[in-house]
Amino acid sequence: MEMNLFLKRVLLLDAASCLLMGAGLVLGANPLAESFGLPAGLLSGAGLLLLPLGLFILWLGTRSIAPGALVYVVILGNLGWTGESLLVAFGRPGISAPGTAFVAAQAAAVLGLALLEYAGLRRSRAAA
């Protein structure tokens, strides 16, 4: 499938957010854990997961032609991340109000990216 400019830009935005969030969570796990009421291991683990994912999405966003299935993998991953984040934000004992706000806000942002990626994928498929 030929990737349109909109889809490529959304994927690059997703990649940048993954890489920045991943680095921030890895480097700031201890101070964030204290203020968010979450284990430092959870935060650093999430950050370590985001780094290779961000690199994969960056690679995908730089392609002119890519299998649509790979974009679906990114979209489904973002939906899964959103769901897990909401479980943490509203179901994790001990999470602080700032922690709930942060996790819920990033879940909303990731859901927004998934919806934009889906719209871009539909545009690419319609153009084919």
pLDDT in tens, the chain (128 residues): 999 999 999 999 999 999 999 999 999 999 999 999 999 999 999 999 999 999 999 999 999 999 999 999 999 999 999 999 999 999 999 999 999 999 999 999 999 999 999 999 999 988 87
Contacts of residue 11, Cβ cutoff 8 Å, sequence gap at least 6: 3, 57, 58, 60, 61, 71, 74, 117, 120
| Predicted structure pTM score | 0.95
